[in-house]
Structure 1
């Protein structure tokens, strides 16, 4: 029985865990390679926010472009109607 206990404790030491039950070194080394820094996270978030703002701007730009074209069309139509009314008024006065 004493031999089994010695083998199990020696296998724990091979895994890299201490008697206190901390994480194995092998797993910690793998996690350290994948860990991102706070600066990288902030850069990623600011890039994402900037991309979203650009998308919002293009969406609104298309909407406002359409509205500007529509208002320009309405303005031209109002000018045509006003010129037609003036022409009709002049004809009535001449008659």
Structure 2
């Protein structure tokens, strides 16, 4: 799906209330932030997820964080590393 598809009349017709649209936008924002965080961790570690590395530091699950935005409050999953040296830029500790 392309970004333009999200702006088509056919796609937008599925929302019957402002609340439904707001919930959808909130989910998009949450997923986007989580993907950016994963990219930041990839960059920090120097390798992509599911790739082999000689680096002793590795992914070590997630922590949950509440995030307040203009769309409301969301709980996001912030990835972490074993050395606890990952400090995300988009959502600081």
Question: Do these two structures clear the TM 0.5 threshold for a shared fold by scoring above it?
Answer: no
Structure having the higher strand fraction is 2
Bigger Cα Rg: 1
Higher relative contact order (CA 8 A, sep 6+): 2
State TM-score, norm by structure 1.
Answer: 0.33
State TM-score, norm by structure 2.
Answer: 0.34
Structure having the higher helix fraction is 1
